[in-house]
Chain A
């Protein structure tokens, strides 16, 4: 069981907006910032969002993040086929450990 809870799957059609949720507790999301990672099929994870809603250089502004209380979410607008991937939320704990969500497999229909 992952410390952070994500839906196992999500889907949308090209052009749609989809959101992926991430639920935690006061000891992780409630007191830490959330990062999101995208893992395209057969590749290493890549940083997609940090500090809840900051995009690293090169990440399209179609991706946005938010956090409220002990939950966070990732939104993808204008869905594209190349967005089909696994998405993981994550947060650091006080012992320099990362707690990951179980991952959400996004399918573009």
Chain B
């Protein structure tokens, strides 16, 4: 069974650093891209970026380039999303999702349950 298990909720202060995780299981972790999606309170889904754990090829959505870092450790089947200096506006739920494919067509077929990040002084 494919699963993406995300790390638990975080409460941080502005200026803190943070790294959240997404551990894949039940499939070949190095063969599928893993994406990150932000959902701010009461808002829609926003695409942040994606990583291929096989070679760590990483692409960022323009609004998030330079704001976050996406990485992966294939030895432990885990992808990460990190911030060096959090802002209150980073408060949101962050989802990881696997990029599945079928005959050249792509979609986000499995999602983690999300990590709630709260940034408040």
Q: Is the Cβ of B107 less than 8 Å from the Cβ of A96?
A: no
Alpha-carbon gap, A86 to B44, bound state (A): 9
Question: Which listed residue, A37, A54, A97, A101, touches B108 by the CB 8 Å rule?
Answer: A37
Q: How far is the CB of A54 from chain B (nearest CB, A)?
A: 8
How many residues does chain A have at the interface if contact means C-beta atoms less than 8 Å apart? 27
Instruction: Tell me if A68 counts as interface (CB < 8 A to partner B).
Output: no
Q: How far is the CB of A12 from chain B (nearest CB, A)?
A: 21
Task: Please tell me which stretch of B13-21, B23-31, B110-118 contacts chain A, meaning at least 4 of its Cβ atoms lie within 8 angstroms of it.
Answer: B110-118
Q: How far is the CB of B35 from chain A (nearest CB, A)?
A: 7
Q: Is the Cβ of A44 less than 8 Å from the Cβ of B108?
A: no
A101 / chain B contacts, CB cutoff of 8 Å: 44
Identity of the chain A residue whose Cβ is nearest the Cβ of B6 in the assembled complex: A44
Instruction: Tell me if A66 counts as interface (CB < 8 A to partner B).
Output: no
How many residues does chain B have at the interface if contact means C-beta atoms less than 8 Å apart? 25
Consensus secondary structure, chain A interface: strand
Pair count A-B, CB < 8 A: 63
Q: Is the Cβ of A46 less than 8 Å from the Cβ of B111?
A: yes
Q: Is the Cβ of A88 less than 8 Å from the Cβ of B59?
A: no
Q: Is the Cβ of B44 less than 8 Å from the Cβ of A100?
A: yes
Q: A50-B102, A50-B105, A51-B105 are in contact. Are A97 and B111 (CB under 8 A)?
A: no
B50 / chain A contacts, CB cutoff of 8 Å: 96-97
Identity of the chain A residue whose Cβ is nearest the Cβ of B60 in the assembled complex: A97
A50 / chain B contacts, CB cutoff of 8 Å: 102, 105, 107, 109
8 residue pairs, one from A and one from B, having the closest CB atoms: A50-B107, A103-B44, A98-B47, A44-B111, A51-B105, A35-B107, A96-B59, A100-B45
